[in-house]
Structure 1
Amino acid sequence: MLNITLLWGQHNTVVTVLAIHDDSPLIGTTLQPVEQSSTAGWVTNMEGKAYLNITQPTLIRVSSIGYLTIEKLISPGQSIKIKLEEDVLGLEEVVVTGSFVPTTSARSLYAVKKLDASIIEARGSVNLGDALQTQLNLKTIQDDVLGTRVVMQGISGPNVKMLIDGVPLVNGAGGEFDLSQINMNNVERVEIVEGPLSVQYGTNALAGTINVITKNYAANETSINPNAYAESVGQYNADVVFAKGWKNLSVSLSAARNQFDGFSSTGERKENWIPRTQYLGNVKVKTSFKSLNITGSYDQMWQDGISHGNATSSFNNRTGRLSEVANDNYFNTRRLNGSLIVDGKLSDKQYIHLVNGVSRFKQSSRKFIQDVIDDVRWLSTNIEDHDTTSFTTWTFRGTYVHGNTRENKGAYITAGYEASINTASGGRISADADGSVNEYGLFTAVEVPLSAKVKVQPALRYIYSNSYDTKDIDFLGADLPLLPSLNIMYSKDRKFDIRFSYGQGYRTPSVRELFYEFIDANHYIVGNRNLQPEVGHNLNASATWRTTIGKITAAFTPSVFFSQIDNKIDLIQILDRETLPDEVPKNVPVARVYDNIPNFKAYGINLAGELVAQNGIRLSPGFGLLARSGSEADDKFFRSYEANMNAGYFLKQMDVKFNVFYKYNGRISEFARKQDGSIGVLTLEDYHTLDASLSKTLFNGRLFTTIGAKNIFNVTDISLTGDGSKGLVLQTGREAFYPISWGRTFFIKINYTIQ
């Protein structure tokens, strides 16, 4: 709601900018001529006033952090009061995921979900898995060894592109990314885009993209931020961030230690959640050269974990007597991420974004025989019980944009390149693996505003693979290796918008899916060199209606999607044990192989809302339906429902914020054809989760404390029923239950800032 009062003057052009809700002056508001260079402009003083030296009527853009940007035609000699509406729905927040140039949330062609630092802190999120737990249309999957994985739009982790500051991360053990390995201690926000972004990011972006944006520090800023976290389950974390800024240079250093003692819901020695210790380090350097920003970063994670086995009575040859003996597996994990990013304007109509990055995952495993009674252990003598395997991805991506990049002010064209080089080595990678699996791409897009309210962006990506004939993409039936996408957006006065997107996805099998070999007395899990690439299609449509009801600002966002993937790659159970090689015991408990599943389909309907009241209450309700099918289900769809409610109340007088996070996870089924031709269905029963927290600032905002309770309903293990193969929970190795959480816990998190 814009409220403008004109006061005519004779000599000066004076603009006073106020907040609409209480007429307080907005200090530091920028006023910038729309049609001139971005370097021109003015800033309001302590009274919210700016003095403009204009000689003709000029269209001025008025921007203030946390408020809606407006444009106003101002004439010389005017004195004008402009009142800005608070941006309670985040319409003016900058987003980068999916867009070729940074843009605002309201103007992005994609519906970008954002989890900012305040939400991350309020949830007491230690890692990315914690932060995503109550998000609609996302499901986190826990494995006692492989960690926390994500399912988006009903499609599992290998098809979700994981990025840190736009740099792809290599997947780890199990072929998926462990969300518990991304620490939240220095994260500014998380951006989520559902649906394929294969034109922008290539392979692995079929289901969607999750981009973790780390914090930047301002010029001339100096700060030290020590933080501590403790949770009653036996989790103790500490980290510290040092940041120093100069005129054109900023440097930040961070270090963290995360300790988790493990948890067993059964009371047995073997935990559902294995004990682990993490050490993390990061350095980030940012400088500028003219209008270009140059950012270099390096992240390192060290993690040690122990998977205890259940003890059984056994004769200990070393002691010569009967004892309790168990098999314990020790995992040593190293993750490295490095990047060099250059971005910025070459001129008013030229923008570049260059990304060069490396991501490496290395895990060593060793098996020890543990005498529980005498507390002695010795290394297993079986060679297959010890392994070191590593996966590495190099990424080189460049984007050039030409045109007026300010949306709705003209067309612009994008051209870019990307190279993704992927290698693996180690004892569980076949010795005769055919080297690396590499993908190279060229892409282009044109954004055209058809009117002030409608803009369209068609895009194409050319793909070449050193391992597969990408002509199988078969664009327009002409054997062309081109991936198309189309985005259309209609927007009216920030009150109503509609977004439609279509994208084709393509994913070549990973080195792991092709050449992995894990064969011992208890496992037979192997890759498949005959795998075919996945080819998918995705349609997304969403609308957002924003309105004001009395003193409540509200937004309602219904959305639908449909995905179809041919040759979807899954790890499936070998039902016919007679097909196992002769050297593998026929009674091996785990026998699985990577294979293609034809004609996988999924559709979903979601309704999300956002209600913000001036009295400090904020509600975010949501409801979702997910349906999944495939040729193995005779085209029968298996449906699942979910609902969530995130709520907050800010008590301004006490500077205290109360938060509640609730989610209902409906029954979800996996399906596979059994050996007799019938359909086997495995169902995870429904459950509810509820978290609550209270946040308070002290000492003039330097100390920020959050206390709360997680999993108030005390959910631990959820029943698995049916006789299907494992699907989403394929690698848990359990028949009767699935570990959702370690039960009800209480936590405290303390952040302190020294400036």
Structure 2
Amino acid sequence: MLKNIFITILLICSVSGVWGQKSVKVKVSGNVITTDGVPAEFINIQLKNTFYGGTSDGKGYFEFMAPAGQYTMIVQSIAAHRREFPVTIEEGKENHFADIEIRENINQLEQVVVTGQFSPQSMRNSLYRVRTVNSEQIRQKAPTSVQSLLNTEIGIRLSNDMALGETDFELMGMSGNNVKILLDGIPLIDRGATKQSLSQLDVNSIERVEIVEGPMSVVYGTDALAGVINIITKKGDGYSEENTWRVGARVQEESMGKEYDFFKDKGLHNESIDLGFNHKSGLFVNGGYTRNNHGGWQGDLTGREKRWHPKDQALMNGMFGFQNRNMNVWYRLDFLDEKIFGPNNGSELQPEKVSDKDFLTKRYTHQLQSDWKLDNRLDVHAALSYQDYKRRTRTTESDLSTGEKWLSSAEASQDITQYKAWIARATVAWNIAPEFSVQPGVEYQWTQGEGGRIDGTPKVSDLAFFLSAEYKPWEWLSLRPGVRTFIVADYDAPIAIPSVLTKFKLTKHMDLRLSYAYGFRSPTLQELYFSFHNDNHDIDGNPDLKAEYSHNITGSVAYRVLHSEKIHLTTTLSGFYNDFRDKISLAQNVDIPNYNTYYNIDRYKTVGGSLENSLSWGGLRANLNVSLIGRYNRYATGDKSMPRFRYSPEVSTSISYHIEKTGTDISLFYKYTGERKEYYYHEYTTADNKKESEIYLRGMKSYHTGDLTVTQKLTSFLHLNAGVKNLFNLTSLETIAESPNDTPSVSYLGCGRSWSVGLSFLLNGKFN
């Protein structure tokens, strides 16, 4: 069947190519500007009732080929405004249309998104509901990590593993392997369930972040059950007919609560530099280096111990490629060298004898990507990535009195875990008719792992074919069905993974989105081949595991309440329902006491909704978002008196004001994370030696987080920022437990109120 599909596509492409040769085409070009004279990017230009057209670039320039003749040119703003006017295209003449003005000013143009799209789209035109953190928000927040960038985003929760020095992310009530992390559309590998890759990216190289909630398994495959976080990196200035260069640098200093040393040791110290060169031939090269030095946080501990482990990161990236108006080919390498230190105190009897555990990580991420615009109807994208992740656990023994230091020989004190992955994908976006386009694609993934707790050096791979279509039968209705199927898989994969997205244009300013998506998650190498045996543990992986799967229903209504040259107010009401089946969980084997392995035994659900409001008015930008997420209570099936879901609220807001006269930005970011309690089952022995059990509520109290920053433009290339991080002095929260038999625990969420100051530099120019 797949063979026939590919043959059919090739035949149709060949026929369309023959048709396209019937008439001589000439170049049509022009520039699009906003009402305030700024070049307008991603504006669609089309010759009415034809396939001929293009899209404006970052300089407002567009170019395409079309036969000579008389046409009506359509200039379609992504914010939905449209202009039509007659044009004559002639052979042997320069058909250039200068300064075509659209109705919007620069502040009214909606953000363009790429995640899951056939081609770049405005957020309003996208059938997916996409949230973004753009470059302006990144600059205003002055983050030193992806965690500090996303910590006040609605629907995202952070949890910290103090023993390993890692942070995990939760989206739509699901975390770990249920969230797909992409770097420029390429999936990143992680060591197990925790998404440590997000904390190992250079925040200084990020252009923007796109967040899509809900399964995207048709497009991106495994793990995209709860959603996708796509980190989009800076790519330089784009294609130019001039030689250009760019030099940027940034220094950011922050205290950790009250702990700080100037530029070293205590506190957080971030320094970065990036360079870029673009040649008019189309060749370009970019590179950057960032050092993140986190001195740790001692908090209530004494001596050598740290509540937050010290961390030192060196992050490097390099990129080179070639681009013109119809092609962009580039290679990028990201390298991480991370050291997390775990200093400890000695015992009371031998305080000079200490045992320290450090975690040393090296990560290489190679990408080779290309985009070709073959003609006005056909775009091809291809990507190849090789990733190498190695984490070493190093335990050392030291005698502080003599300075001697040696590797520990204790059980499990030394370990090296390594993962390697190849990812290759290719897609073709084919505009068959003005109202109908398709995107076939193929993707191959191969992963290999080895380590002290992995049996051998196992490999897992799969080869999948996917197909999506966008159909717009009427102006008010857009449909996007899609399906992914596996050609080869080293696990029990679903036969077909379908999805259907719809968008209804209810009025000029109101859109309704409804979608159904089938999501899946393939078993990880750890779940398939884990092996850990000692006096206290007997745990093995299960090579016979099936993929988890889920059903998702999502709906949203977006209403542009106000949309004028001076003010822009949008409100969005959304809701979702997820039903996860065959969830993989670690459980005891009923036939072998104290022996545990992984089984497809669990079921889980999440339900929720949000109300999001965005205001732009002169120099003011404000967002107010509220969400409520319910998590499934598995014990309700046996006790109908118990609630099926436990709900927890969130409130997120950001306010920024730009003072044009002084070049000052004042920004406030705030988030309220509501109380979250879930049901737990507990067996215990009473004082009279009886076995009892109970089901009780346990969870975390509510808390507040917030940041305040002020950014001042000193010169055209120099900006100063200063602010207060963790406004509410958050450090830790004790768990809430409605049981006298529960042992309280503490979750550490911050280091207390901290101060920050930074300087950023960006200079660019031209050369001969």
User: Under TM normalisation by the shorter chain, which class is it?
Assistant: 0.7 to 0.9
Aligned residue runs from structure 1 range 245-264, under 5 A: 245-247=278-280, 248-264=282-298
User: Number of matched residues?
Assistant: 685
SS at match of 1:126: coil
Q: Using the TM superposition, give the Cα deviation of residue 62 of structure 1 relative to its aligned residue in structure 2, in angstroms.
A: 6.3
1:242 partnered with 2:253? no
Q: Using the TM superposition, give the Cα deviation of residue 337 of structure 1 relative to its aligned residue in structure 2, in angstroms.
A: 0.7
Separation of aligned partners in 1, 2:517 and 2:341: 42
1:208 partnered with 2:227? yes
Partner of 1:674: 682
1:444 partnered with 2:467? yes
Match of 2:622 among 609, 619, 623: 619
Q: Cα deviation per residue 1:333-356 (whole Å; 9 max; x = unaligned)?
A: 011111111113111111111111
In the alignment, is the contact (CA less than 8 A) between 2:168 and 2:194 conserved in 1? no
1:112 partnered with 2:130? yes
Q: Cα deviation per residue 1:59-83 (whole Å; 9 max; x = unaligned)?
A: 33166xxx94743222479999956
Q: Cα deviation per residue 1:652-671 (whole Å; 9 max; x = unaligned)?
A: 11111100000000111244
Partner of 2:407: 379
Partner of 1:636: 644
Compute the RMSD of aligned alpha carbons.
Answer: 3.3
Match of 1:661 among 656, 669, 692: 669
Partner of 2:656: 648
In the alignment, is the contact (CA less than 8 A) between 1:195 and 1:538 conserved in 2? yes
Aligned residue runs from structure 1 range 559-570, under 5 A: 559-570=574-585
Change (3 A) 1:294 1:417: same
Match of 1:709 among 719, 724, 727: 724
Separation of aligned partners in 2, 1:723 and 1:310: 35
In the alignment, is the contact (CA less than 8 A) between 1:351 and 1:401 conserved in 2? yes
Partner of 1:344: 372
Q: Match of 1:625, as an amino acid?
A: L
Match of 2:528 among 511, 514, 520: 514
In the alignment, is the contact (CA less than 8 A) between 2:462 and 2:489 conserved in 1? yes
Match of 1:608 among 607, 612, 616: 612
1:278 partnered with 2:321? no
In the alignment, is the contact (CA less than 8 A) between 1:68 and 1:87 conserved in 2? no
1:455 partnered with 2:478? yes
Match of 2:351 among 300, 317, 323: 323
Match of 2:384 among 342, 346, 356: 356
Q: Match of 1:185, as an amino acid?
A: N
Change (3 A) 1:620 1:678: same
Separation of aligned partners in 2, 1:80 and 1:118: 26
Q: Cα deviation per residue 1:240-282 (whole Å; 9 max; x = unaligned)?
A: 1110001211110111111011113322443232111111111
Separation of aligned partners in 2, 1:680 and 1:310: 37
Aligned residue runs from structure 1 range 146-295, under 5 A: 146-172=165-191, 175-218=194-237, 219=240, 220-233=243-256, 234-247=267-280, 248-268=282-302, 269-288=304-323, 291-295=326-330
Change (3 A) 1:561 1:71: same
Partner of 2:423: 395
Which stretch of the first structure deviates more once superposed, 115-124 or 624-633? 624-633
In the alignment, is the contact (CA less than 8 A) between 1:159 and 1:205 conserved in 2? yes
Q: Match of 1:667, as an amino acid?
A: E
Separation of aligned partners in 2, 1:622 and 1:240: 35
Aligned residue runs from structure 1 range 56-71, under 5 A: 56=70, 58-61=72-75, 68=79, 70-71=81-82
Q: Cα deviation per residue 1:173-200 (whole Å; 9 max; x = unaligned)?
A: 6543342211211111011100000000
Partner of 2:504: 490
In the alignment, is the contact (CA less than 8 A) between 2:34 and 2:106 conserved in 1? no
In the alignment, is the contact (CA less than 8 A) between 1:225 and 1:752 conserved in 2? yes
Partner of 1:694: 710
Normalising by structure 2, what TM-score? 0.82
SS at match of 2:127: coil
Separation of aligned partners in 2, 1:239 and 1:168: 25
Separation of aligned partners in 2, 1:258 and 1:523: 37
In the alignment, is the contact (CA less than 8 A) between 2:301 and 2:307 conserved in 1? no
Separation of aligned partners in 1, 2:443 and 2:749: 38
Which stretch of the first structure deviates more once superposed, 451-460 or 142-151? 142-151
Separation of aligned partners in 2, 1:286 and 1:97: 22
Q: Match of 1:535, as an amino acid?
A: Y
In the alignment, is the contact (CA less than 8 A) between 1:323 and 1:373 conserved in 2? no
Separation of aligned partners in 1, 2:342 and 2:444: 37
Change (3 A) 1:459 1:279: same
Partner of 1:499: 513
Q: What 5-or-longer segments of structure 2 have no aligned partner?
A: 1-29, 61-67, 89-96, 257-266, 638-642, 684-691
Q: Using the TM superposition, give the Cα deviation of residue 379 of structure 1 relative to its aligned residue in structure 2, in angstroms.
A: 1.8
Change (3 A) 1:543 1:287: same
SS at match of 2:152: coil
Separation of aligned partners in 2, 1:558 and 1:627: 17
Q: Match of 2:707, as an amino acid?
A: D
1:34 partnered with 2:68? no
SS at match of 1:674: strand
SS at match of 1:171: coil
